[in-house]
Structure 1
Amino acid sequence: MRVFVTGASGWIGSAAVDDLMAAGHEVVGLARSDRSAAFLARKGAEVLRGDLDDLGSLHRGAAAAEGVVHLANKHDWGDPAGSDRAERAAVETLAEALVGTGRPLVVAATISGIVEGRPVRETDACPAVGPGSDRGGSENLALDYAARGVRTVITRFAPTVHGAGDWAFVKFLVDAARKQGVSGYIGDGSTTWSAVHRSDAARLVRLGLESAPAGTRLHAIAEESLTTRTIAEAIGRHLGLPVVSVAPQDAADHFGFVSGFFADTMTASSDLTRELLSWTPTGPTLVQDIEAGAYAEA
């Protein structure tokens, strides 16, 4: 299959490109810089120059492909509304290029903000609808195209997709521990996160592209529930630092912007995903990754 991938040089995207190519697929990766283009070319992928604001490139890439994987997102914490607008426009452009073809469109999504008080299930609809909602309501927008001849597949990722080279939430927690001289958790540390190794997430992207039915929601979740205290303790053991509780009112000063995420429970089940696609995570757990030094260079 000829697959157009946005975010192809990113954390999950680059692993997905490797997995897709190893399975025999031809990959065309969107690249917004010379560095990204060279990175993808070294992997053996074809390069299409452009970015999320270049809707013409997005349409051309999708129209010429037999399947699309959309993993890019601006993640501009200084302009979340702008990120949401760009995400909605990108999903709409990619989907419009596939209308009536029956070809797959895999769209990255998050488990955050879907339900409270229990793990999110694949059957739970995302409440974000419309341009002014979180991520521009892109999950529901993409699913609307399943009725227009697009094999839409939503892949919701755990809040931490971990592994050597991870630059996201766990890296920020490790950076905070080094800066503060202690590894902290907020309050009693009972807040919980889900996790998945990068290799398992990439494989699920491919499996969804290859065979998930239209309108499917997949959950890239290997570990359903890890307490934030467990994460902090693993960081403390790896760095040889004391592990302490940080009062909620002091969390922002201690952790920086990641404190808002570290204080939230973000968990989900992947039971239906595993059953549907025979997906069994095989990568290291988050604690194993931390203790093995995956964040040594954080």
Structure 2
Amino acid sequence: MRVFVTGSTGWIGSATVDELLANGHEVLGLARSEASAAKLTAKGASVLRGDLDDPAAFGAGAHDADAVVHLANKHDWADPAGNDRVQLGAVEAILDALDGTGKPFMIANGLSGIVEGRPVLETDPSPAVGPDSDRAGTENLALDAVSRGIRSIAVRFAPSVHGRGDWGFVNWLTAAARKQGVCGYVGDGRNAWSAAHVTDAARLIRLGLENAPAETRLHAVAEQAIATKAIAEALGEALGLPVVSIDPADAKEHFGVVGHFFGQTMTGSGDATRALLGWEPTGPGLIEDILAGAYTAD
């Protein structure tokens, strides 16, 4: 397949491009800058210049491909409404381009906010519906487009998709620890996160594109529940810093934006995903990765 990948030089996107190319697929990657375009070209991918503020680029890329993986996100925590508005425009452009084609369209989401009090299951629908909801309700918008002749698939990522070079949540926790001189966890640290290694997440994306039926929800979850205190303790060992509890009221000040998420339980099951696709994670676990220096090596 010729696969159009948005966010193609991001953390998960870069690994996805590598996985697709290594398994005989062609890649058309969306690139905002010359540097990003050069990275894609060096890998053997084709390049489409554009960014999230340019819905026409998303439509053009989808039109010229056999499948679409939409991973791009601004992650502008200061303007969530603006993020959602831009996401909606991009997804609508992709859906319009794929209308009636039967092509696969995979859209990214997270586990947060779907259910409370238990791990999220693949059968749990997202409660986000409509343009004023989280991510402008684009998971549901995409899955509803099955009625338009599109093989839509949602892939929900664990809060930690980890590995050497990650610039996501665990990297932010590492930066906060270095700044504060301690590795913190929120409250009693019993709240938990799911996790998956980035190479396993990329392989899941490929398998889903190749084999998942329309209207499928996939979970990139290799480890279902890792206590946040255990994450802090591993970072403390790796950094040589003491480990302390942070009052929930002080979490945002201590950790920055990631403090809001580190105080939550964000877990999901990947059992149905494994059964459907034969996906078996093989990468290191999050604690193993941390202790091996993935977040602390210079």
User: TM-score normalised by the shorter chain: which range applies?
Assistant: over 0.9
Q: Distance in 2 between matches of 1:84 and 1:55?
A: 13
Look up the match of 1:128: 128
**SS of structure 2 residue aligned to 1:225:** strand
Aligned counterpart, 2:19: 19
Letter in 2 for 1:108: A
Unaligned runs of 5+ in 1: none
Return the offset for 1:182: 1.2
CA distance in 2 between counterparts of 1:194 and 1:204 reads 16
**1:1-298 aligned within 5 A:** 1-297=1-297
Q: What is the TM-score normalised by the length of structure 1?
A: 0.98
Amino acid aligned to 1:220: A
* 1:86 shift after superposition: 0.8
Indicate the SS of the match to 1:230. Answer: helix
Distance 1:163 1:256 in 2: 21
Corresponding letter in the other structure for 1:206: R
In 2, Cα distance between equivalents of 1:6 and 1:66: 14
Q: 1:26 Cα deviation (Å)?
A: 0.4
Q: How far, CA to CA, are the matches of 1:260 and 1:171 in structure 2?
A: 15
Once the two structures are superposed, residues 177-233 of structure 1 have per-residue CA deviations (whole angstroms, 9 ceiling, x without a partner) of: 111111111111011100000000000011111110000000000000001000000
Structure 1 residue 78, shift from structure 2 partner: 1.3
Shift of 1:297: 4.5
Find the aligned partners of 2:284 and 2:147 in 1 and give their Cα distance: 38
Q: In the alignment, residue 259 of structure 1 is paired with which amino acid? A: G
Q: Distance in 1 between matches of 2:109 and 2:20?
A: 19
1: CA distance, partners of 2:240 / 2:17: 36
Give the aligned length. Answer: 298
Misfit runs of 4+, over 6 Å: none
How large is the RMSD of aligned CA atoms in angstroms? Answer: 0.9
| Distance in structure 2 (CA, Å) of the matches to 1:253 and 1:154 | 34
For 1:110 and 1:252, how far apart are their aligned partners in 2? Answer: 21
Name the aligned partner's letter for residue 182 of structure 1.
Answer: V
TM-score by length of 2: 0.98
Amino acid at match of 2:192: T
Letter in 2 for 1:128: A
Is 92-101 or 7-16 further displaced after alignment? 92-101
Letter of the 1:177 partner, please give it: A
Moved more, 254-263 or 154-163: 254-263
Partners of 1:109 and 1:249 lie apart in 2 by: 28
**In the aligned structure 1, how far is the partner of 2:284 from the partner of 2:57?**
37
Deviations 1:120-150 (A, max 9, x none): 0000000000000000100000011111110
Report deviation, 1:253.
2.1
**1:172 deviation in Å?**
0.9
- Structure 1 residue 16: Cα displacement: 0.2
